Structure 1
């Protein structure tokens, strides 16, 4: 039976039934509803959210990164999901170590993950394992570093270009 309403509690209950506990927690501090997921269970969680008729998150609208800084020694990948049939928005956050941050690609679940993951890689240096074409998308191919990291040192890549208005 397909429920007419979806809540964060029904989602967590479904995930606990299908995958097991101790991999996800609810962050109730903001909007939309947010799950903090262990990076090792990300693919399993997203597969259930996409495939199960009671949730059917058919749209991955955004993927972004967060650098929590050198002192925190963590980074995050944030996924914004949307279920069109249920008119429900869900955010998933995955915590990663700042040194060698990596997580599995979700391109086999949502095609829109392709360029979104490339942007996060390009700006933050987060690796998406099994991505079909993980290369720079915004910065030049020979760019060094990741511009949105908090410890990024600016390059003078374009110092010889003059723009006149």
Structure 2
């Protein structure tokens, strides 16, 4: 396996081609624009559809998301979470589209925010995209990611008194008989 060549001091990861697994991958046009406008992020590559994937720190998620909205990304198609593995980060991800009246193929971007398990708090994007409402609640319910500023952050699928976060990889399911005795 080859190592990533060092980036020259005058270059940043955003200004150069990204080398992943031996293949050179150009930074996408949206990532370049965000960098030019001063928004800190990391280009993670593109998915199988060619959609740019950007990693953002939770402290800049709101200004970053506001910039995307100002660029015309007006529809949060999907907000979800996943567990990168026991002891690893939890991830809050956003699939955002630029939807116009006469567009046949909307422009898309995926944004990921990696959160430590011990403090999985990220600002809510509900105030930018209202479609985040129930999606953030579901992610909270299943992974325990807290969306700071969400107007109604409570469990959506599990009972309010449920202990734990069922889709975390380190979650231990209660014994069936324990559940039976509880009801």
- Both structures adopt the same fold (TM-score exceeding 0.5): yes
Q: 8 Å contact 1:118–1:134 — kept in the other structure?
A: yes
Q: How big is each residue's C-alpha offset from its partner over 1:62-119, in whole Å with a ceiling of 9 and x where there is no partner?
A: 1111111223x31111101111126112110111111121100000000011111000
Query: Deviating runs (4+, > 3 A) in structure 1?
Result: none
Identify the residue that residue 134 of structure 1 maps to in structure 2.
153
TM-score (norm 2): 0.74
Which runs of 5 or more residues in structure 2 are unaligned?
Answer: 1-26
Q: How is 1:1-165 mapped onto 2 (pairs within 5 angstroms)?
A: 9-20=28-39, 23-28=40-45, 30-31=47-48, 32-52=51-71, 56-71=72-87, 73-85=88-100, 87-155=106-174, 156=176, 158-159=179-180
Q: Greater relative contact order: 1 or 2 (C-alpha under 8 angstroms, separation 6 or more)?
A: 1
Larger radius of gyration: 2
Structure 1 vs Structure 2 CA RMSD: 1.9
Q: 8 Å contact 1:19–1:44 — kept in the other structure?
A: no
Q: When the two structures are aligned, how many residues end up with a matched partner?
A: 148
Which runs of 5 or more residues in structure 1 are unaligned?
Answer: 1-7
Q: How big is each residue's C-alpha offset from its partner over 1:24-47, in whole Å with a ceiling of 9 and x where there is no partner?
A: 111115233211111111111110
In 2: Cα distance, 1:70 partner to 1:62 partner? 24
| DSSP 3-state at the match of 1:115 | helix
TM-score (norm 1): 0.82
